[in-house]
Structure 1
Amino acid sequence: MKPMLLYYYESPNARTACAVARHVRAPVEFVRIELRQGEHRRPEFLAINPNGKVPVLVDGDTTIWESPAIAAYLAQKTGSELWPSAPSQQVELLRWTHWGAAHFNRHAGSLFFERVAKPIFGLGAPDAATVEEAGKHLRHFAKVLDTHLRERRYLLGDALSTADFAVAAMLPWTRAAQLPLDDYAHLGQWYARIEALPAWRQPYPDADAVDMAA
């Protein structure tokens, strides 16, 4: 039987998929795609994911893009409680996962791009207007998340789920991207629990891998 292949780079969404794979002990083989050398634009990779992005999971005839879908697939395949069994909890998981992508991580990602990705890939200086707008929106949605977490350990209550991994995707870069999150104590306590997970701290197969969060 061929191993599952998880294509990644040390970027937020791919990092999250790798962390979930580590956490559930999925039998994956990690394949690093060097974005700075344009490996994601090569025909052989575009044949796997025509979007030209990581992460991608290949399991036999099944190919999955997008980190939340990969996380869900791996959690279900390994029988992990990261994917809840109750339909009502599955709906709640999807709600927070989509909220994170559409709101919280959208604006955190803008700051990440301006302050972290641009220097790494030589794309010029941060755009001041974009930074100001993203910071304003991120503070609004951080307050929503902080309020939700006031009496909860995780997004779904007491149980860790793939939604926590998805919504936390940008937080390893809080300092580098200068995310304005210091005023949200419950959010900070929640993320400290995520950060305490060994798989989150070291999601990559190579202990010497250079994480963009460093």
Structure 2
Amino acid sequence: MKLYYAETLAPRKTCAVAKYLGIPIEYAFVDLKKDEQSKPDYLAINPNGKVPCLVDGDRSLWEADAIICHFAQRAESDLWPHDGRQIDVVRWLSWNSQHFYRHTGSLYFEHIIKPAFGLGEPDPSKVAEGQGWFRKLAGVLDQHLKGRKWLLGDGLTIADFSVAVTLPYAKSAAMPLDEFPEVRRWHDQLNAIEAWRNPFPARPATSAANAALNA
């Protein structure tokens, strides 16, 4: 398997799950600053021009959540449950993509992507909007996590890797995470996992801009 990635949000979850499961994989770094995701050879495997993308034999698989499901299935791991909890995993993946990731990702963009790519200063109105949504949605998550170790109870699943993917950047992206003790506790547990803290493979040289994306 070959995983095309950049050191940004969506690829982070795929790299973290691959590392956690110990999956033998070839990594191919896609330099977004050089617009490599728009080159014809990359568009041939992912016409969306986005990262990550996984090539597994003759199959090209887009979208980070689909990729981490594939990893868990290939590894026969309980990260993808083999019972009725699968529906709950899908529910949280959907909630994240439609709500939580959408708004936390806007704060990540304003505070981390913009300076890294020379796109100007954070827009105060968009920051305020993103923080408002963060408080609303993190409140939902905080209530759900009461009495639960992980999103689905006692067992870690791909839903945890997906929903929490923006939280390593909470401080640098001005997310008011400390207002939500259950979310903070949950993310602290993830931070105890080496694959979560340091998901990306080592590269010979990392530019200051790319390092900033993983700050």
Does the TM-score normalized on the shorter chain lie above 0.5? yes
Deviations 1:2-48 (A, max 9, x none): xx000011101101100001111112101100101111111101111
Q: Secondary structure at the match of 1:98?
A: helix
Q: What is the match of residue 3 of structure 2?
A: 6
Q: What is the match of residue 118 of structure 2?
A: 122
Deviations 1:83-139 (A, max 9, x none): 0000x2000001011111111111100111111101111111211211111111110
Rounded Cα–Cα distance in structure 2 between residues aligned with 1:128 and 1:211: 21
- Counting aligned pairs with the same residue, the percent is 45
Offset of residue 192 of structure 1: 0.7
Rounded Cα–Cα distance in structure 2 between residues aligned with 1:134 and 1:205: 30
Q: Match of 1:182, as an amino acid?
A: D
Normalising by structure 1, report the TM-score: 0.95
Rounded Cα–Cα distance in structure 1 between residues aligned with 2:178 and 2:200: 28
Root mean square deviation, CA, Å: 1.2
Alignment partner of 2:77 out of 55, 76, 80? 80
Offset of residue 207 of structure 1: 7.0
Q: Match of 1:89, as an amino acid?
A: R
Gaps of 5+ in 2: none
Residues 131-150 of structure 1 aligned to structure 2 (within 5 Å): 131-150=127-146
Q: What is the match of residue 13 of structure 2?
A: 16
Alignment partner of 1:181 out of 166, 177, 184? 177
Deviations 1:140-184 (A, max 9, x none): 000000000011010010000000000011011111101111110
Contact (CA 8 Å) 2:72, 2:78: kept in 1 or not? Answer: yes
Contact (CA 8 Å) 2:108, 2:173: kept in 1 or not? Answer: yes
Contact (CA 8 Å) 2:116, 2:212: kept in 1 or not? Answer: no
Rounded Cα–Cα distance in structure 1 between residues aligned with 2:145 and 2:185: 9
Rounded Cα–Cα distance in structure 2 between residues aligned with 1:18 and 1:35: 17
Contact (CA 8 Å) 1:176, 1:213: kept in 2 or not? Answer: no
Moved more, 123-132 or 16-25: 123-132
2:102 is the alignment partner of 1:101: no
Moved more, 155-164 or 192-201: 192-201
Normalising by structure 2, report the TM-score: 0.94
Rounded Cα–Cα distance in structure 2 between residues aligned with 1:105 and 1:96: 11
Q: What is the match of residue 194 of structure 2?
A: 198
Contact (CA 8 Å) 1:10, 1:211: kept in 2 or not? Answer: no
Q: Match of 1:213, as an amino acid?
A: N
Gaps of 5+ in 1: none
